[in-house]
Amino acid sequence: MTKRRLIIWLVSFWIIAVLGFVGYMESVKLYWQILIVKVEPVDPRDLLRWDYVTLGFPFSRPDIDIPSSGSLYAEFTKWTDNRLIKINWYTTNMPSSGVAIRWDIINWRLDYWIEKFFVPETRWLEIENAIRTKNVEAEIAIDKSWRSIIKNILIDWVVWKP
């Protein structure tokens, strides 16, 4: 393979990767369900990864027996403005409708991939203080397989711009 072909392949790969990522994020905005959930105060600074804060949610710690592996789903009821009303139940069976968030269970440990949120290094203290003193909510996008990502952080009902 010549040097020119290698460069063309590398540039093509990165263009496809970036377009794929942009397409994925646009699908989040257009097709995923939105759930707005109050952020609960926890020890927010992740000491191993300085640019991340740890967020707690009402459904973060289920009060049920957790299997050793598999998936666990938290099913919700929400208002028409997408705010969480209540947690209906936790189940190991994938819900067919409604609103739910999926956890992956690995050795009795729950991971649902939205507790860690990236914050620029100079802005983490701002979000830490807001969690303690203001109304902080997370706008969570949920897909059809009940996977979730944080779309926005709302501080006093305004989208926080990091």
Q: Which position has the token pair 């759930």?
A: 35
- Do residue 147 and residue 93 come from a single domain? yes
User: Residues of the chain with pLDDT > 90: what percent?
Assistant: 14
Same domain, 39 and 25: no
Q: For position 92, what pLDDT does the model report?
A: 85
Question: Collapsing DSSP states into helix, strand and coil, what is residue 7?
Answer: helix
- Hey, which bits of the chain come out as E strands? 33-38, 52-54, 69-78, 84-91, 99-106, 109-111, 116-118, 136-142, 148-155, 158-159
Q: What is the pLDDT of residues 111-158, one digit of tens each?
A: 777 887 788 777 877 887 888 888 899 998 888 888 888 888 899 989
Residue 79 and residue 39 in one domain: yes
* Radius of gyration of the chain, Cα coordinates, nearest whole angstrom: 19
Are residues 53 and 26 located together in one domain of the fold?
Answer: no
Structural domain harbouring 27: 1-31
Question: What DSSP designation does 87 have?
Answer: E
Under 8 Å between Cβ of 103 and 112: yes
- Indicate whether 2 and 38 sit together in one domain: no
Q: Based on the domain organization, do 8 and 42 belong to the same domain? A: no
Contacts of 33 (CB under 8 A, 6+ apart): 99, 141, 142, 143
Q: Report pTM.
A: 0.76
Number of C-beta neighbours around residue 84 at 10 A? 19
7-19 residue pLDDT tens: 999 999 999 999 9
User: Into how many domains does the chain fold?
Assistant: 2
Together in a domain, 42 and 1? no
pLDDT of residue 6: 93
pLDDT digits (tens, 9 = 90+) for 45-74: 656 666 777 788 888 777 777 777 888 888
Residues 17 and 40 in one domain: no
